[in-house]
Structure 1
Amino acid sequence: MTATITARIGPNAIIQMGEALSARKEQARAARIYGRAGLLPYLAHPPEAMVDEGEVARLFKAVSDEADPQAARALFADAGRRTGRYILANRIPAFARALLPRLPRALAMRILLKAISKHAWTFAGTGHVTYRAGSPASITISENPIATSLGCIWHTAVFETIFSALIRGPVTVRETGCRCGADHHCTFEIS
C-alpha cells in the first residue's frame, strides 16, 4: 500500500486571508468564503502548521469567485501584504533584514531571489519555481497550484512587500504571465 503525499504551503496563506477579512469587519463574508472552501473551522482556529496546498487553492478559488472582482482583488492584495509582513518579521533573520538594504541593489536582489527559491515550497507547493537575476529580475512558478482566475495578486503582494523592505530603492512587482491565462506558468517581474 502506498501513502498519498500532498504538498504543503505555509499557513499564512489561510491565516492572513482571515485577518484581512476581519480587519474589514466582514465576518459574514469570511464565513461565506471559508464555508465554500470547506475551511470554516479555520476562522475560529487558524492553522498552526503547514497546510495542504489543496486547502489554499480552494480558499483562493472561493475568494476569486466572489461577485465583486475588484473587492476580491483588494482582499488578495491585503492578505498578500499581511503575509509579506509576517514573513519579514518572523521568517527572515534580523541580520538579513539589516544587511540586505545596505548592499548594492543587484547583489541584494540575487541573494534574496536565491533565498526565496530555496523556500519556494512554502508558497508554491507542487509548483516549480525558477528565478532570473537582472534588471528586471523575475520569479516564475510553473504549474502554480494556487493561481486564480483573477491572477496571482496574493503572490504579487507578498513579493512586493518583501522586496520593498529588503532591496535598496523603489521596487515594483508585476505579474506578467499567469497559469490561468494563456501561459502555463506565473511570472513576476521585479524592477
Structure 2
Amino acid sequence: MRSAPTPPSERGRTGDAKAGQGPATAGRVGPNAVIQVIAALERTGLASVSPEIFLRAGVSQWLARPPAEMIDETGAAGLHYAVRTVLSPDQAAGVLTLAGTLTADYLLANRIPRLARTILGMMPSPLAARRLVRAIDDHAWTFAGSGYFRGLSGNPTIVEILGNPLCARDRDADLQSAAPDRTEGVCFWHAAVFQRLFAVLVSPSVRVREVTCEARGGACCRFEIVWS
C-alpha cells in the first residue's frame, strides 16, 4: 500500500493521513476480506452458492480452509468480483455489506483496545474522527494492498483508495457494460467497514457513501463520511 500524492488544494488540510508503504505486505490484504464473505453468505442463506462463487474466483481452497494470514490481493479481488457476478446486484450488495460490517466488528473486538475505544467515545466527534482516520491510515495496507490510500478528516471526512485492488476485476471487465442501469459504486465491503467503525467510535448518526468508484470510471474509490 502506498500513500497518494496530495493535490495542492488539499495540502495543509488538518487531519490529512500520511500513509506509508509496507514493502513486506504490498499486494496483500487481510484474511477478513475472505473469512467474512463466507460468514455473510451463510447468514444470508446463500451458503449453497458459495462453492460456485469460490470456484469462479479460482480460490476454492479458501472455502474448504479459510485463510488465517495475509493473502494475495488478486485472490480477494477475484472473490469479491465473483460475488458481484454470480449473485444478483442486490444480493451481492447485501452480502458484501454484511461482510464489511462483520469485518469491522472483528476489528473492534480484537484489534482496537478497549481503552482506545473508551477514549475515542469520550472525544468530540471531530477529534475522534481525526484520530480514527490516523489509525485507519496506519493499517491501510490491510485493505488497500498495493493501492494508494489517503484520509482527509473533517465533516465530511473523505477516504480515498487509488488503485483499489478489490475492484480491479470490475475495472478490467468494465462491469458498467454488463449492468448499465446501475451507476453506484461496487465497494460495499469497504463502505460497510468504514460505516461500522465510525458509527461505533465517532457518532451513531454517521453515514458513509461511495461518491466515486474506479469500477464505474472514477479516478479513485472515494468515500464521504458525514454525521450530524
Q: Which one is further off, 37-46 or 142-151? A: 142-151
**Distance (whole Å) between structure 2 residues aligned to residue 178 and residue 169 of structure 1:** 25
Tell me, yes or no, if the aligned pair for 1:79 and 1:154 is still in contact at 8 Å.
yes
Which residue is equivalent to 2:154? 134
Which residue is equivalent to 1:166? 201
**TM-score, reference length from structure 2:** 0.78
Partner AA of 2:210 in structure 1: E
Q: 2:95 aligns with which of 75, 87, 103?
A: 75
Q: CA deviation at 1:168?
A: 3.2
**Distance (whole Å) between structure 2 residues aligned to residue 50 and residue 56 of structure 1:** 10
What stretches of structure 1 of length at least 5 have no aligned partner?
none
Which residue is equivalent to 1:14? 34
**Distance (whole Å) between structure 2 residues aligned to residue 76 and residue 133 of structure 1:** 25
| Residues 74 and 169 of structure 1, relative CA distance in 2, 3 Å threshold | closer
Tell me, yes or no, if the aligned pair for 1:104 and 1:168 is still in contact at 8 Å.
no
What stretches of structure 2 of length at least 5 have no aligned partner?
1-24, 176-184
- Count of aligned residue pairs for this structure pair: 187
**Distance (whole Å) between structure 2 residues aligned to residue 159 and residue 78 of structure 1:** 12
Q: Could you tell me the percent identity over the aligned residues?
A: 41
**Distance (whole Å) between structure 1 residues aligned to residue 45 and residue 63 of structure 2:** 13
Tell me, yes or no, if the aligned pair for 2:26 and 2:141 is still in contact at 8 Å.
no
**TM-score, reference length from structure 1:** 0.93
Tell me, yes or no, if the aligned pair for 1:103 and 1:168 is still in contact at 8 Å.
no
Q: CA deviation at 1:67?
A: 4.6
Higher relative contact order (CA 8 A, sep 6+): 2
Deviations 1:154-174 (A, max 9, x none): 100011011101013411111
Q: 1:93 aligns with which of 113, 117, 120?
A: 113
SS of residue matched to 1:146: helix
Q: 1:157 aligns with which of 177, 192, 202?
A: 192
Partner AA of 1:181 in structure 2: R
